Amino acid sequence: MPRDRPQLTNAARPSTFEVATRDEHDAEGVAHIAGEHPLTVYVDKKEILTIMTLGAAPEALVLGYLRNQRLVDDIEDIVAVQVDWDVNAASVYTRNGLVDLDAKMEHRTKTTGCGQGTVFGDLMAEIDEVKLPEGGTLKQSTLYALSDLVRKHETIYKQAGAVHGCALFSPTPELLYFVEDVGRHNAVDAIAGFMWLDGVSGHDKIFYTTGRLTSEMVIKAAQMGIPFLVSRSGLTQMGFEIAKRVGMTMIGRAVNRHFLLFNDAGRFVYDAANDTQ
């Protein structure tokens, strides 16, 4: 039986804006800069938080935020997400209200690093319950193929910088979702929102991010049940330790045909020794 899909607006905003500049030669020019907009999230008319976002996928971002914060357990509990940029608001309507909102908000106040980009206490507790699927493989040739696909999609970054991109790939690899945002965590949340909406399981997927693999990025990928995490950037010690703990295959510094395998978990297959493009 098909699931009830929430009613969604489709309120993506223009992603880049032109501004006048002067360069080192005192020459006037025009630069493209990335949009950044406050989006205040209301759930059943209760204000939850304000997210600063590029605004490219606001409905998926809000859904993924609610999902990743475990404020809603089932997508069928969401009736609608209505984004209205005239008032910078995302109004979420639920069937039965949020479970335990006050308790979760209270806990969030105590344990999260606002402005530090982390929500620590709850997430670490949850990590010990995550079991990433064993088996499965990621071939070097697949890694290269998905890197090539990503390169073609980073349009906002190429034009304006100041954004991070995240992508979800099938094993083929097929690019399933690609989201850029001014916030590293927004892009991850939006991907989670799309997966949740479409009923996509993470068990055989590959998550790619241009951003650094800090603890929270690794935790979010693990929460989404994704065994393969690839970044163009580096990683932190805690990101590394959590990847080992949950058995995630973790690759950093993936640029062109270079990469570093930081944690394997028995899934990586070298099959492209002669591909030196």
Site for a second copy in 127-156 (CB under 8 A): 140
Q: How far apart are CA 272 and CA 6, in angstroms?
A: 43
- Indicate whether 203 belongs to the interface with a second copy (CB under 8 A): no
| Residue of 62, 195, 235, 246 interacting with a second copy (CB under 8 A) | 235
| Residue of 196, 207, 228, 259 interacting with a second copy (CB under 8 A) | 259
Amino acid identity of residue 100, one-letter, is D
Q: How far apart are CA 206 and CA 174, in angstroms?
A: 10
| Residue of 113, 126, 131, 198 interacting with a second copy (CB under 8 A) | 113
CB of 36 to a second copy, least distance (A): 4
Element (H, E) at 140: helix 140-153
- Indicate whether 238 belongs to the interface with a second copy (CB under 8 A): yes
Name residue 80's beta-bridge partners.
7, 93
| Residue of 7, 19, 96, 148 interacting with a second copy (CB under 8 A) | 19
| Residue of 116, 128, 129, 135 interacting with a second copy (CB under 8 A) | 116
What part of residues 159-198 is at the interface with a second copy (CB under 8 A)?
A: 160-162, 182-186, 189
- Indicate whether 26 belongs to the interface with a second copy (CB under 8 A): yes
- Indicate whether 210 belongs to the interface with a second copy (CB under 8 A): no
Q: How far apart are CA 51 and CA 8, in angstroms?
A: 18
Q: State both tokens at 157.
A: 């970054």
CB of 194 to a second copy, least distance (A): 18
Q: State both tokens at 96.
A: 């039965």
| Residue of 1, 2, 10, 24 interacting with a second copy (CB under 8 A) | 24
What part of residues 60-99 is at the interface with a second copy (CB under 8 A)?
A: 65, 68-69
Cβ 59 vs Cβ 41: under 8 Å: no
Minimum CB distance to a second copy smaller for 10 or for 116: 116
| Residue of 56, 216, 227, 267 interacting with a second copy (CB under 8 A) | 216
What part of residues 44-63 is at the interface with a second copy (CB under 8 A)?
A: 47-53
Cβ 6 vs Cβ 80: under 8 Å: yes
β-strand 228-231 against 112-113: which pairing, if any? Answer: unpaired
Q: How far apart are CA 49 and CA 106, in angstroms?
A: 13
Q: At what angle do helices 215-223 and 237-246 cross, to 10 degrees?
A: 20
CB of 124 to a second copy, least distance (A): 8
Minimum CB distance to a second copy smaller for 5 or for 137: 137
Q: How far apart are CA 160 and CA 15, in angstroms?
A: 9
